[in-house]
Structure 1
Amino acid sequence: MLFFLLIYSVIVWAVIEIFVILFRLTGLKVEVSRFQVISMMTGTGFTTGESELILGHPVRRRLASFLILFGAFSLAVIISSISQFLSDGLRTKEISLAAAVVVAVFGILKLGAVQRFLARIFDRKMTQTIELADLPVRDVFLKNKDDTLLNLHIYQDSELANRTLNEVAEGHDDLGLAALFIQRGEVKIVKNIYDTTIHEGDQILLFGGEKVIFKMFAGDIKLMKEKNKNKPHH
């Protein structure tokens, strides 16, 4: 019985590491991949914000579907195997063979050439089956580690209040800084953004290099953090 549990643990570990590699090849971070793989297999914790990175990606969704089914069926296998052990004895040969196959697959996936091949397949699959609008925001905008998106809130004493982006963010084109839109109540402003006078209560969605944004709007970002920190929590 102990031998069976040991072999089964090896299979589960190998499956987890296999899918961590597969998710990583789709562009997901290793630490996020491992947590989400374990969550899907056990049916716990998958409803985190990070799950949107998987649900909004077609290749990851297919991998996730297999993992969820594997987790459900593997529990049934444990129960039935224990019952068989208590009645007729366990077939350790078949279980050992299954474990060897899974570990071998894991070993193959660790090869750099195999990972590059699979990465090309995943990229091709993405190109053929998905529209840009279907991708998560992170996969569309944050392809480089230095890129960031910032939803900047404007207050009465913000530096941007009653001014335009052209006045504050001079040379934004050369710096690779882009204002995607201004949210003013129920109205989304997308035209003449840089010449639009910013009002208290506006929200500006900014995209660009993290260092550029945090340097150019340092005062307003600091103010926004202070305001959020002082908000009462319910």
Structure 2
Amino acid sequence: MLCTGVIPIVFLFILIYFVLIFLVLEIAVTLLIISGLDKEVARFQAVSMLTATGFTTKESELIARHPIRRKIAIFLILFGVFSLAVMIASISTILTKDLRIVQLIIITCLFGIVLFVVKTKSFNSKMSGEFHHKLKKEYELHELPFQEILYLNEGDLFTSVKIDEESPYVNRKMEEVFIADKDILLLFVRRGEEKIRRERMKLVIQAKDELYVYGSNAVIDNKFHTEIAKMMAKKQDEEEIKALE
């Protein structure tokens, strides 16, 4: 039977272990945010990598295609796997009364100090500059993630807009819809299986065209509010149907 004094020590060890996991997670999330990733996306992907749950969302491409974020991801995956093995082994050690609580507390405190440093504004500013400098210095433009090139500001957006039969833009010329002095660009048009780039501005918009646009989020939403709302509603309906199956 286990000694009554051992059980509290096991719980203490598990508590310290979870504090350590939290610190590592926060450090990784902060570094991902510094690299330009959205806070919520950074946290979700960091948890996914640390727990090795393997969520394969489109957002994961923001990690896989970014050289710096890839290194953070590798560390998180390896740390998650090895730390679990270490925890199991350590609990077994505790049960044999060869305690390692002090060493774990020291390691946890060190990670706490690292997190404090990473959270400072000076570190954030310096590392942000370093990250962008490294990308520009070591990688060609075509090697960088697509989002890194286009998402220059928080208010920028790249999206596709599907035109249906009821859209007011049907039978209108592209050059009438995409005015030069507005903060919105038409990159290309998908019409059936064809992608049209070179002559895109000379096209007359047809139903079922898919416009790939880039520019101000507010301008895009204002111009294609109805189309985007229909797309979102359709997507939500499809997800609900899929959930019921």
User: Structures share a fold, TM > 0.5?
Assistant: yes
For structure 2, the 5+ residue unaligned runs are 1-9
Given candidates 7, 16, 40, the residue that maps to 2:16 is 7
Given candidates 161, 165, 168, the residue that maps to 1:159 is 168
The equivalences for 1:5-84 within 5 A come to 5-44=14-53, 46-84=55-93
Contact 2:170 2:206 in 1 (8 A): yes
CA distance in 2, matches of 1:84, 1:222: 58
Contact 1:54 1:64 in 2 (8 A): yes
CA distance in 1, matches of 2:94, 2:133: 46
CA distance in 2, matches of 1:224, 1:35: 25
TM-score, normalization by structure 1: 0.88
SS of 2:180's partner is helix
Contact 1:20 1:34 in 2 (8 A): yes
SS of 1:175's partner is coil
For structure 1, the 5+ residue unaligned runs are none
Contact 1:58 1:130 in 2 (8 A): no
Could you give the per-residue CA deviations for residues 189-234 of structure 1, whole angstroms, max 9, x where no partner exists?
1113222122222211111212222333345445656666777946
TM-score, normalization by structure 2: 0.84
Provide the alpha-carbon RMSD of the alignment: 2.4
Percent identity over the alignment is 37
Decide whether aligned partners of structure 1 residues 118 and 40 sit closer, same or farther in structure 2, where only a CA change above 3 A counts.
same
CA distance in 1, matches of 2:82, 2:20: 13
Decide whether aligned partners of structure 1 residues 224 and 160 sit closer, same or farther in structure 2, where only a CA change above 3 A counts.
farther
Contact 1:41 1:67 in 2 (8 A): yes
CA distance in 1, matches of 2:199, 2:163: 18
Could you give the per-residue CA deviations for residues 25-45 of structure 1, whole angstroms, max 9, x where no partner exists?
101122222222122111125
Indicate the residue corresponding to 1:139 in structure 2: 148
Could you give the per-residue CA deviations for residues 110-161 of structure 1, whole angstroms, max 9, x where no partner exists?
2221222221221122112333334343322222222222312223332222
Q: Out of 135-144 and 202-211, give the one that drifted further.
A: 135-144
Decide whether aligned partners of structure 1 residues 223 and 62 sit closer, same or farther in structure 2, where only a CA change above 3 A counts.
closer
SS of 1:161's partner is coil
Given candidates 185, 192, 201, the residue that maps to 2:199 is 192
Compute the displacement of 1:71 (Å). Answer: 0.3
Given candidates 188, 202, 225, the residue that maps to 1:181 is 188
Aligned length: 232
Contact 1:53 1:136 in 2 (8 A): yes
Indicate the residue corresponding to 1:118 in structure 2: 127
